[in-house]
Amino acid sequence: MIPTLEWLPEGVNFLDQTKLPLEETYVLATDYKQVARVIKDMIVRGAMAIGVSAAMGVALGIERSSATSLAELSAEVDDISKTLAETRPTAVNLFWGIAQIRNLYTKLALSHTPIPEIKKQVVALARRLYDEDIANLRKLGALGAELLPQQGTVLTHCNAGALAACGYGSALGVIRAAIGQGKQIDVFADETRPFNQGARLTAWELVKDNIPTTLICDNMAGYFMSKGRISAVIVGADRIAANGDTANKIGTYSVAILAKEHGIPFYVAAPFNTIDMATPEGGAIPIEQRAAREVTHVNGVQVTPEGVAIENPAFDVTPAKYVTAIITERGVLRAPYAESIPAMATDAQPELASA
């Protein structure tokens, strides 16, 4: 398994996903500002990977701090957290990752723990979150695999695979687990314009895993559904509201409507920390607006006329009524989500406090 990100003595090493599938290169971040830039520039992307990356960014900032007092270090932690929180506002996992390290720091600081020990403990937690992400996604994958047919084609949008996490993946983790159970599953991957995560990333990692994969343009999904070619749709999520409304890569909403029209199950696969109980419904989810160049250029080549106006929202929100089930490592959620989500939440929600 190629590591999406990795804690090294020199810093945090990231697989540069902007260079895939043509180049497998890495970017080493040696301070928290570089981690923030890696997240902002989508060198690392995917809600799960962003969460752990943010945690490692805060831990790296604390570890590399030259502060000699807790008061000085606490002020730095505020700045570190703020810088990382401003990178990708839609993914709630970002704030979860920041809060994981910041909450531990606050607890240790309040007990007057020596700074060297604080540094040791926050780094240990960041590295543990990496391992837990992979373990949780393997649980999620096993649960979701039971929902897929014994044989058929599964459509996915964007990349919710190993590249969107520390490894294994959520939506693609379900597919991997189903194949591991002996199911005969092949994949249709939407290209996912404008950043082409499906064409560049999903296709790349599934081909490397020898999973049968067909790449289709975004506007072909309805055609193949109408022909009976699609058995199920499974996608990831960047934030799930308390009522089950789901924010995912732009274009997911359209696919969900098409699936509903054709009677095809539409599954969302995401770790439980993607659910934001503080966001009551999808209209309250902030939608990141990205640079026009992602639309106007392809591989650095301009493909649009000068002066044309550009809109580039990175995400859309799929209403809960279109979601057949939400697959998490804790179990499978079904409608009414306003009841099933709080029932599963128990006492987990303090982890989701905004950083």
Q: Which residues are catalytic?
A: 238
Which among 192, 195, 200 is positioned nearest to 163, based on CA atoms?
Answer: 200
How do the residues of the chain divide into helix, strand and coil, expressed in percent and rounded to 5?
Answer: 45, 20, 35
Pairing of strands 275-276, 239-241: parallel
Q: Cβ(244)–Cβ(333) under 8 Å?
A: yes
E-strand ranges in the chain read 5-8, 11-15, 26-29, 151-156, 184-190, 213-216, 232-235, 239-241, 246-249, 266-269, 275-276, 297-298, 301-302, 315-318, 325-328, 331-333
The encoded tokens of residue 347 equal 């006492």
Q: Which residue type, as a one-letter code, is found at position 191?
A: E
301: which DSSP letter?
Answer: E
Q: Cβ(121)–Cβ(108) under 8 Å?
A: yes
Query: What CA–CA distance (Å, rounded) separates 340 from 219?
Result: 33
